[in-house]
Amino acid sequence: MRVLSLAGRRLAASLPTLFLILVGVFLLLQFAPGDTVDAMMAQMGGGDAATARELRQFYGLDLSVPVQLGNYLWRLVRLDLGFSSIYGKPVATVIAERLPATILLMTASLSFAFFAGLVLGVIAARGVNKWPDTIISTLGLVFYATPSFWFGLMAIVVFSIYLQWLPAGGLEDITRIQSGIWRTLDIARHLVLPTLTLGLIFLAIYLRIMRASMLEVLNLDFVRTARAKGLDETRVIVRHVLRNALLPMVTLIGLQAGTMLGGSVVVESVFSLPGLGRLAYESVIQRDLNTLLGIVFVSALLVIVVNFAVDLVYARLDPRIGTGD
């Protein structure tokens, strides 16, 4: 019950933010020259003025900006995300089709970054200023400094073109019909390179944070006490140090869920994945306001959900942090 009430309060608190974001995006896109009918004409390679007028009427673009915004918000209140002019389907359907790829990619990258960062951070902290630390820290710096699109393209050149180990793009092999476990494995194979590409920057951050917080906790009194009690080193690290050092790591997950959605635009383009990031980019280019606002709405919900989960994990890790009264 406490969890539910917390969730409810969290959601209520984020509603004004959500409202401001939606209005902001709506107004920002009004500043871009051209509307969805112009984009449509560009795609068609020409058309006459009468058709354009008719289409503007059809999409409600002949109305004034406040009226359009009002209509949109009123629809949103009734949980109707509207109709996508690029896809000719309800926005909710379009987003539902794209969401799985993005969630798959985000989950895979976050877990990869989190766990690899954790392990590398611990190794680096244990051998601080010795050769493992130097190698890991340097690698981290390189990963952090490499732009992800460049890393993605290089990974394709090495692993797909030269070695021919992994596919260069797409979510699955559509030239063969597969099902069950084989399809899952095929999708996993297709996700390896995108996951690495999106995850490496985050991995670098996690490993730095993990290393620093391990070093900090290692110097605290209770660790000295634990060692003095004669506990073996593995037990000290796992039970006492790691658990406490994990707190800043978990905080980061919440912060980075949003960043990752942004980063996925590039990765989804390079690996031709059908995700939300590319859909967002496409809807800006096509001036498809409904779809864009829908994506903003869903992404905001996603970030809220992730942060809520992070709060719950907090309470598990450190009983002193309550879920509130």
Residues that bind other proteins (CB under 8 A): 32-36, 38-52, 58, 85-88, 94, 97-98, 153, 156-157, 160-161, 164, 167-171, 174-175, 269-272, 274-275, 278-279, 282, 285-287
In angstroms, rounded to a whole number, what is the distance separating the alpha carbons of residues 63 and 43? 24
Collapsing DSSP states into helix, strand and coil, what is residue 35?
A: coil
To other proteins, the closest distance from the beta carbon of 165 in angstroms equals 10
Specify the amino acid at residue 65.
V
Q: Which is nearer to other proteins, 137 or 291 (CB)?
A: 291
Q: Which is nearer to other proteins, 55 or 124 (CB)?
A: 55
- Extract the tokens encoding 73: 């918000």
To other proteins, the closest distance from the beta carbon of 104 in angstroms equals 13
To other proteins, the closest distance from the beta carbon of 157 in angstroms equals 7
Of 74, 72, 86, nearest in space to 30 by CA: 72
Q: Which is nearer to other proteins, 122 or 284 (CB)?
A: 284
To other proteins, the closest distance from the beta carbon of 148 in angstroms equals 13
Q: Which is nearer to other proteins, 80 or 282 (CB)?
A: 282
Q: Which is nearer to other proteins, 16 or 45 (CB)?
A: 45
To other proteins, the closest distance from the beta carbon of 38 in angstroms equals 4
Q: Which is nearer to other proteins, 59 or 112 (CB)?
A: 59
Rg of the Cα atoms in the chain: 24
Q: What is the signed CA dihedral for 174, 180, 184, 187, rounded to 10 degrees?
A: 10
Alpha carbon 104 to its chain's center: 10
To other proteins, the closest distance from the beta carbon of 82 in angstroms equals 15
Supply the DSSP string of 234-279, one letter for each residue: HHIIIIIIIHHHHHHHHHHHHHHHHHHHHHHHHHHHHTT---HHHH
To other proteins, the closest distance from the beta carbon of 293 in angstroms equals 17
Cα dihedral sign for 196, 99, 65, 21?
negative
Residues 6+ apart with CB under 8 A from 137: 124, 208, 211
12: phi > 0 → left, psi -120 to 50 → alpha, else beta; which? alpha
Q: Which is nearer to other proteins, 45 or 319 (CB)?
A: 45
Q: Which is nearer to other proteins, 58 or 182 (CB)?
A: 58
Length of the chain, please? Answer: 325
DSSP H/E element including 93: helix 91-126
Question: Taking the CB of residue 87, how many other CB atoms lie within 10 A of it?
Answer: 18
Alpha carbon 95 to its chain's center: 15
Contact (CB, 8 A) for 176 and 218: no
To other proteins, the closest distance from the beta carbon of 153 in angstroms equals 6
Q: Which is nearer to other proteins, 88 or 319 (CB)?
A: 88
To other proteins, the closest distance from the beta carbon of 286 in angstroms equals 7
